[in-house]
């Protein structure tokens, strides 16, 4: 958490805005 960077936003930002990545499952694999 925080170490991985998706584009220009960190994992934390990705979790806050999952739609930017293209769905919640993009960064929410454990939330099935």
Report the pLDDT value the prediction gives residue 15, as an integer from 0 to 100: 59
Report the pLDDT value the prediction gives residue 8, as an integer from 0 to 100: 61
Report the pLDDT value the prediction gives residue 1, as an integer from 0 to 100: 52
1-32 residue pLDDT tens = 555 655 665 666 555 655 555 555 555 566 55
- Angstrom distance (rounded) from CA 14 to CA 3: 12
Handedness of CA 31, 21, 15, 11 (dihedral sign): positive
Strand partners, 5: 10
Helices (H) and strands (E) in the chain, counts: 1, 2
At 26 the three-state DSSP class reads: helix
């Amino acid at each position: 958490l925080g170490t991985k960077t998706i584009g220009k936003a960190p994992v934390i930002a990705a979790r806050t805005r999952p739609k930017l990545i293209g769905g919640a499952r993009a960064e929410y694999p454990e939330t099935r």
